[in-house]
Amino acid sequence: MTSPLITLLAGPTASGKSALALAWAQRTGGLILNADSQQLYADLRVLTARPSPADEAAAEHALYGVADAAEAWSVGRWSRAALPLIDTAVAAGRPVLLVGGTGLYFHALTRGLAEVPEPGPEARAAAAQLFDTEGESAVRARLQAVDPTAAAAIGPRDRQRLVRALAVAEGTGRALSAWQADTRPLLAPGSWRGRVLEPERATLYAACDARAAAMIEGGALDEVEALLARGLSPELPALKAVGVRELAGVLRGETSLQEARAQLQQATRNYAKRQLTWFRNQTADWPRIGPAGLEG
């Protein structure tokens, strides 16, 4: 049986996905397509450990550093950018490797992406005002009444998702969870195979620590300083990247670089742990592989 041309390679940060992808591309001549929400941003090469210019020259990479930090790319926008690239490669008989740690991207490809209509500015403003004036508990109580599924799924202190879920329910007259249930996979069943790069936990955490230290040595502080100098909204995805908050504290004189390094290492380990949990829950049937386990 012929292997599908599309391979999805998921895994936590610092697990070695980029190196594995580069070796695969040099062996197969395939296209490496970014499936990491933070590596989209041009402003964050160091802080997101984006492939180096030398690596990008050694094999074709797509959707890396294509977005400005002032933009907020959604899963839908990424999908609309990725699917034509996939289709073009497959039509030419060329293999494609989608590489990243953003679980929602893989979920959209394999299970579907909900086309949720915009609730309208009035509904959004009303939900936001309720949160700001009466607090999270008031929004959560109202959301529980109109969309208990969403209320149960959204964690504490997640203002953005709570406000959106309530605005969608009240602005469209239909629960967000109901819209999300009407989905279909973006990739046809049988057209792809999934793999998860899952190192042993101690090895992964050591790699997280080493990566965080290398980022600081490689200019991450300068990168954050340039990003903050733009005066962008702290709600933008690029401003929420792991490391921005920790290194911003150094720039504001609130913490030392040594303390920030330890904080960044801890934040990176925490992020990797969350990713591991997501992939174990959502991609339990995907084969787990090691550093040399990606077949051609």
Confidence (pTM): 0.81
Is there a contact between 181 and 238 (Cβ–Cβ < 8 Å)? no
Considering the domain boundaries, does residue 294 fall inside one? no
Residue 254 sits at the vertex; the CA angle it makes with 250 and 259, to the nearest 5 degrees, is: 60
Beta bridge partners of 248: none
- Is 191 in the same domain as 205? no
At 296, is the pLDDT very low, low, confident or very high (cuts 50, 70, 90)? Answer: low
- Is 193 in the same domain as 93? yes
Q: How many CB atoms lie within 10 A of CB 211?
A: 17
- Is 168 in the same domain as 31? no
Considering the domain boundaries, does residue 136 fall inside one? yes
List, for residues 191-225, the tens digit of each pLDDT value: 999 999 999 999 999 999 999 999 999 999 999 99
Domain that holds residue 45: 6-114+183-198+281-289
Q: Any residues with CB less than 8 A from the CB of 98 and at least 6 apart, and which?
A: 6, 7, 8, 9, 33, 34, 35, 82, 86, 105, 106, 109
List, for residues 43-66, the tens digit of each pLDDT value: 999 999 999 999 999 999 999 999
Mean pLDDT over residues 157-179, rounded? 92
Q: Any residues with CB less than 8 A from the CB of 209 and at least 6 apart, and which?
A: 265, 268, 269
**DSSP secondary structure letters along 31-43:** EEEE--SSTTBGG
- Is 21 in the same domain as 66? yes
Q: Cα separation of 211 and 254, whole Å?
A: 23
- Is 57 in the same domain as 193? yes
Considering the domain boundaries, does residue 125 fall inside one? yes
Mean pLDDT over residues 220-247, rounded? 96
- Is 10 in the same domain as 110? yes
Considering the domain boundaries, does residue 33 fall inside one? yes
Helix 103-110 and helix 75-91: axis angle, to 10°? 60
Q: Any residues with CB less than 8 A from the CB of 43 and at least 6 apart, and which?
A: 68, 69, 223, 226, 227, 238
At 156, is the pLDDT very low, low, confident or very high (cuts 50, 70, 90)? Answer: confident
> Tokens at residue 101, please?
């740690």
- Is 57 in the same domain as 189? yes
CATH of the domain at 205: 1.10.287.890
> Tokens at residue 296, please?
């051609």
- Is 150 in the same domain as 171? yes
Question: What per-residue confidence (pLDDT) applies to 1?
Answer: 47
CATH of the domain at 157: 1.10.20.140
Residue 63 falls in which region: left (phi positive, over 0), alpha (psi -120 to 50) or beta:
left
CATH of the domain at 105: 3.40.50.300
Q: Cα separation of 262 and 45, whole Å?
A: 21
Q: Cα separation of 109 and 244, whole Å?
A: 29
- Is 190 in the same domain as 158? no
Domain tally for the chain?
A: 3
- Is 42 in the same domain as 187? yes
Considering the domain boundaries, does residue 1 fall inside one? no
- Is 108 in the same domain as 41? yes
- Is 27 in the same domain as 170? no
